[in-house]
Amino acid sequence: MIFNLIHRPCGHYESYDFQRKCAHELNFKTTILIPSRQFDNERVMESVKEDNRNFNDEIGIWLDPLSDMPDTQVWLLSREDKVKTVKYSVDAFIKHFGYPPKCVGNYVMDSQLIEILKDYCPQVTTVVAGCFEEGVKVFHGCNNSWYLFSEGMSWNPWYPSKTQSVRPAESSEDWAGVVAVPHLSRDLVLGYEGRNDFFASHPANIQRGLANDGVIHNYDYNLVDQYRMQEDYNNGFSYYQIHVSPGWFFGNPNILDSSETTCRLYRETLEYLASLKEEGKLIDMHLSEFGEYYKKNVPLGTTDVGVGKDILFGSGKHYMWVLNSSYRALVDTFQGGSVGDLRPYIGKYEAFTGVDSDKPLMNSYPYLVQSQYRSGLKHHHEDGARTTLFVTLNGETLDMCNYPSKIDKVQRTGNDVRLELKPVTMKFKDGSVFEIQTVYDFYANGEIGLTRRLLSGDFSKAELCEYIKACYGFTEYPENMKGISLLLNGEKVADYGYNAKIYSKASVGSVAAVIPAVNTLLELKPCGEATGSVCDGHHFSPFFTLKLKYTPDKNTKEIKSWLNIKKQKA
């Protein structure tokens, strides 16, 4: 596992000195990101230069709005103020150190900001540029006051595209020219289900989320191990980062524990990482050093796999994330192996943030499916955005989302990934018992194979319906769905009109919807004979639905469908 330790000096001198002492006593390579407003702070600059001189700590920049600008975040500034901030910060850095920085960061760096930075300081190779799945839930958890939206991105380092910074570039022409790393390493289960600013590689935030019991903080160690486990699925690669600003250690009102406990938990977490280093299981790097390593060892276009297993609540839940340049997909095994989140990178949705943008706050990449925000399995009224398999026998219909599963096996061949889930057993009122196993094949070209293995039971009298209910959006609130087209066999049968109409066809070749807002066609395609339908939604259920109905015989061993994400045709 590769490890980055990042410091950010911004006052709180007692805390910062404690962090410096921990890093140097444990012999960690450390990167110090100087906030833009601190270049005139003699005490900060003296300590930074001392650590650079005595311990070879790497120095970079944390971009903050300048003192004559609004007290906002740098990615929310106008282009003019972004340019001023970058120029001032880089020039001040060169004045102090005699050379340009190689690493720069903030919680979010939108595509416009990265472009400005790379144009003015081409020597920059590595940026901190986003917070994995930080957005709606953190906003609500902070009393609707934390305007950071960067959902739909990678939990791992990535090559940001030129036109939307959290979208991974598909080619060198599409690449913004820097390696991006997330701010912190987030829990791969609670990053989807909960407030992942609580559950990340930030021991004080773990305390804020009450995941410790005084000085007992196994969660911190288990999260490290969750990321070490990713080596098994990513050709031996995994990445971890700790980046705690000094304001968290002494007298922080968001933490119930004593300052002594907070310092102890931080130190002990670093000691665990140091023990892994001694055992040869961890390599610490400076941030720019990691950027060069990443470019040499992780080719552009490499698929990332993230396996998350609940390490806090004992629920036994499993999730699997797959990310490539065409899409990001999440399989929610607790929801029967449903696709619970789907982001269509292949459409190359373009966006930047700030005063000059049409979406000034929103650096999240839009979804087609998001079961946490948009209902998922039926709860109060209708169901929402999700996939599932319906099995109907003698008038009774069972929904696979009601049958939790777990990951059984993950295999990858190059950038293609196969996920096999543990079989589920469905029991009908007439005593019939069916055993079905779900298998996903994720391909980097935008195709997802979905196989239902019929392991036991007489399916000859049953009807199986492959189902996806989708939309597009950024938050829990619906967007305007007008402009979407519904297709059967590639031919448009209707424009989305909020009229709940269903359009069906026997022996169908495909059912699909075109979503112009995200430049994407979403298609469900059968392998074999099926009846297909597309369904318009309505204002109390603003989704579209794609269905394929199969009628297997006694010899049918499996049914297979394709869920395809394609760039919208011009």
Give the sign of the dihedral formed by CA 194, CA 198, CA 202, CA 203: negative
Among 309, 343, 364, the domain-final residue is 309
**Distance of CA 330 to CAs 108, 153, 321, 502, 556, Å?**
22, 12, 4, 28, 28
348 and 213 fall within a common domain: no
Among 246, 280, 309, the domain-final residue is 309
370 and 241 fall within a common domain: no
**pLDDT computed for residue 380 by the predictor:** 80
61 and 110 fall within a common domain: yes
**pLDDT computed for residue 381 by the predictor:** 84
Among 283, 309, 335, the domain-final residue is 309
Paired tokens of 560:
């297979």
380 and 273 fall within a common domain: no
33 and 92 fall within a common domain: yes
428 and 298 fall within a common domain: no
167 and 67 fall within a common domain: yes
Which CATH number goes with the domain that contains 124? 3.20.20.510
**pLDDT computed for residue 415 by the predictor:** 98
24 and 55 fall within a common domain: yes
* Total domain count, the chain: 2
Angle at 150 between CA 173 and CA 121, to 5 degrees: 50
CA separation for the pair 398, 465 (Å, rounded): 10
> What is the block-wise mean pLDDT of the chain (570 residues), using blocks of 10 residues?
98 95 98 98 97 98 97 98 99 99 99 99 99 95 93 99 99 99 98 89 96 98 98 98 96 93 98 99 99 98 98 97 99 98 98 97 98 88 94 98 98 98 98 98 99 97 98 97 98 98 98 98 98 97 98 96 90
The tens digit of pLDDT for each residue in 290-337 reads 999 999 999 999 999 999 999 999 999 999 999 999 999 999 999 999
Enclosing domain of residue 478? 318-567
Paired tokens of 206:
């773990």
**pLDDT computed for residue 570 by the predictor:** 52
Overall pTM > 0.85: yes
Closest among 211, 222, 86, 237 to 156, alpha carbons compared: 237
Give the sign of the dihedral formed by CA 482, CA 486, CA 491, CA 492: negative
Closest among 518, 331, 308 to 418, alpha carbons compared: 331
Which CATH number goes with the domain that contains 331? 2.70.98.10
**pLDDT computed for residue 495 by the predictor:** 98
The tens digit of pLDDT for each residue in 242-283 reads 999 999 999 899 999 999 999 999 999 999 999 999 999 999
CA separation for the pair 452, 230 (Å, rounded): 26
CA separation for the pair 201, 198 (Å, rounded): 9
486 and 387 fall within a common domain: yes
230 and 378 fall within a common domain: no
- H/E/C letters for each residue in 264-328? HHHHHHHHHHHHHHHCCCCEECCHHHHHHHHHHHCCCCCCEEEEEECCCCCCCCEEEEEECCCCE
224 and 359 fall within a common domain: no
| H-helix or E-strand spanning residue 73 | none
Task: Compute φ and ψ for 36, nearest 5 degrees.
Answer: -55, -35
301 and 412 fall within a common domain: no
